[in-house]
């Protein structure tokens, strides 16, 4: 990393990885984004179809709200993969912090497992922030299989969704392209 200089010196305590963001913000980002995606998966059966069921005429009566059991079950494998990746990254971060608390990076052998209070006190040090940073980086790399949902043509096929937008009354309707302006040629 850029904080290690020739001759064995380093300034990782000032400009090392993860020090550009507060440790609590990094943890909130890691746990919050994961919790939001898992919560969205849990609420998939409560979702309502809106695109294609309503005409552009703003008819609200044609919208039915009912629980649809079984919706999202095909995504269950990806959810399990995400849970395993999150658990691995959490263990990796805890292992890195534990190694720093026990001074394994300095060559001494651990005498005991660090307590939770020692780990919490260690979060705000530069070593703790670096451990959180690397856990987040590992989680980002392990999220690579989800990139397939970003491919424009495959996204609609895999998720069975249609583009939607909001009309002037705030209702969710199928997306319609604006008409082209008349040509001035």
Q: For 91-143, how does the pLDDT look when each residue is reduced to its tens digit (9 = 90+)?
A: 998 888 888 777 644 555 556 677 777 777 777 788 888 888 889 999 999 98
Most confident of 56-65, 76-85, 144-153, 163-172: 76-85
pLDDT at residue 8 tops 50: yes
One-letter-per-residue 3-state SS of 69-130: CCCCHHHHHHHHHHHHHHHHHHHHHHHHHHHHHCCHHHCCCCCCCCCHHHHHHHCCCHHHHH
The residue to which tokens 């001759």 are assigned: 7
Most confident of 7-16, 50-59, 101-110, 133-142: 133-142
Best CA proximity match to 58, nearest among 142, 185, 176: 176
**pLDDT grade for 86, boundaries at 50, 70 and 90:** very high
**Amino acid 148: pLDDT:** 83
CA–CA–CA angle 41, 46, 51 (5° rounding): 95
**Amino acid 42: pLDDT:** 83
**Amino acid 70: pLDDT:** 64
pLDDT at residue 18 tops 80: no
**Amino acid 89: pLDDT:** 92
Best CA proximity match to 142, nearest among 75, 93, 77, 89: 89
Most confident of 36-45, 55-64, 65-74, 114-123: 36-45
Residue 73 structure tokens? 């079950």
Best CA proximity match to 126, nearest among 10, 32, 8: 10
Specify the length of the chain in residues: 185
Average pLDDT, the chain: 76
**Straight-line distance from the first to the last Cα atom of the chain, in angstroms, rounded to the nearest whole number:** 57
CA–CA dist 24, 120 (Å, integer): 11
Best CA proximity match to 174, nearest among 47, 49, 52, 61: 52
**pLDDT grade for 49, boundaries at 50, 70 and 90:** low
Q: Region 2-22: what's the mean pLDDT?
A: 75
pLDDT at residue 54 tops 70: no
pLDDT at residue 38 tops 80: yes
Q: What share of the chain is helix, strand, coil (3-state, %, to 5)?
A: 55, 5, 45
């Amino acid at each position: 990393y850029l904080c290690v200089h020739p001759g064995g010196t380093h300034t990782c305590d000032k400009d090392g990885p993860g020090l550009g963001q507060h440790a609590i913000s990094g943890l909130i980002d890691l746990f919050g984004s994961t919790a939001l995606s898992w919560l969205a998966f849990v609420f998939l059966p409560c979702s309502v179809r809106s695109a294609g069921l309503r005409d552009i005429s703003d008819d609200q009566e044609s919208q039915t709200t009912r629980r649809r059991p079984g919706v999202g079950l095909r995504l269950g494998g990806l959810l399990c993969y995400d849970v395993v990746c999150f658990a691995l990254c959490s263990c990796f971060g805890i292992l890195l912090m534990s190694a720093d608390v026990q001074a394994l990076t300095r060559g001494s052998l651990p005498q005991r497992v660090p307590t939770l209070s020692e780990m919490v006190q260690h979060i705000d040090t530069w070593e703790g922030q670096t451990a959180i940073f690397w856990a987040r980086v590992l989680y980002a790399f392990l999220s690579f299989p989800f990139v397939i949902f970003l491919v424009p043509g495959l996204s609609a096929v895999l998720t069975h969704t249609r583009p939607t937008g909001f009309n002037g009354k705030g209702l969710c309707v199928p997306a319609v392209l604006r008409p082209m302006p008349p040509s001035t040629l």
